[in-house]
Amino acid sequence: MSEIIGYARVSTADQELDSQRQRLKAAHCQRIFEDVMSGRNFDRPGLTELLNYARDGDVLCIVRLDRLGRSLRELLDTVQLLKGRGIGLLSLEEKIDTSSAAGELVFHVFGAIAHFERRLISERTRDGIAAARARNKFPGRPRLDEARLDAAFKLIDAGLSPTQAAGQLGLGRSTVYQELKRRKASKREHAAETTAA
């Protein structure tokens, strides 16, 4: 037997849940789950409990869409999760009921928006990398300047500390320490191979 399950949320403890409760009860919700926390926090115990409780064929009822998610991304993710589990969505304010033909269309529209958003992000990333390459800039960590690194090793061999050598040559201190460590390891390996031969 499918159920209509209510979800109510307010951002702060001084806000009232009563008006949402009344509207959800009037919409014949058999059980109401609640959260008192900001919509920016998506780790909401009440919503998690509701999702654990809901079964295929149940309908999640909310007063307004912003009670379910404050951002489009959160809302899309939740709607996709509901659809995947066979749980309907009923939003009283926006008059969305996914059990109707028009409401089912809303699910598809949400899914299309999510797909479009993912493709847009992917295309922007690709365009950004291509534009950077055209300017001879390459994404990621800059390549090490071997000449400056060799100069740093010479300064260290002459008695400067790795920090001082890095500062004089405009290299990162951690980079110099890492390369110094790698250099010492390489020398040890070479010495071991020579001894073995």
Residue extents of the structural domains in the chain: 4-115, 146-196
Q: Using one digit for the tens of pLDDT, what is the confidence trace for 32-88?
A: 999 887 655 557 889 889 989 999 999 999 998 888 876 777 777 788 888 889 999
11 tagged catalytic? yes
Among residues 139, 152, 138, which one has the least CA distance to residue 183? 152
Q: Which two tokens stand for residue 151?
A: 């100069």
Strands 59-62 and 31-36 come out as: unpaired
Q: Residue 147: which residues within 8 A CB-CB, separation 6 or more?
A: none
Q: Residue 124: which residues within 8 A CB-CB, separation 6 or more?
A: none
Strands 96-97 and 88-91 come out as: antiparallel
Q: Which two tokens stand for residue 40?
A: 């920016």
Tokens 């001894």 — which residue? 195
pTM of the predicted model as reported, rounded to 2 decimal places: 0.54
Question: Residue 17: phi, psi to the nearest 5?
Answer: -95, -10
Tell whether the model's pLDDT for residue 197 goes beyond 70. Answer: no
Choosing from 11, 71, 99, 161, the catalytic residue is 11
Output the average pLDDT for the chain.
81
Q: Residue 23: which residues within 8 A CB-CB, separation 6 or more?
A: 63, 92
Residue 104: the pLDDT is: 72
Residue 103: the pLDDT is: 72
Cβ–Cβ contacts within 10 Å for residue 160, how many? 15
DSSP state of 103: H
Q: Using one digit for the tens of pLDDT, what is the confidence trace for 154-174?
A: 888 888 888 888 887 778 888
Cβ–Cβ contacts within 10 Å for residue 187, how many? 10
Domain 4-115 listed as CATH 3.40.50.1390: yes
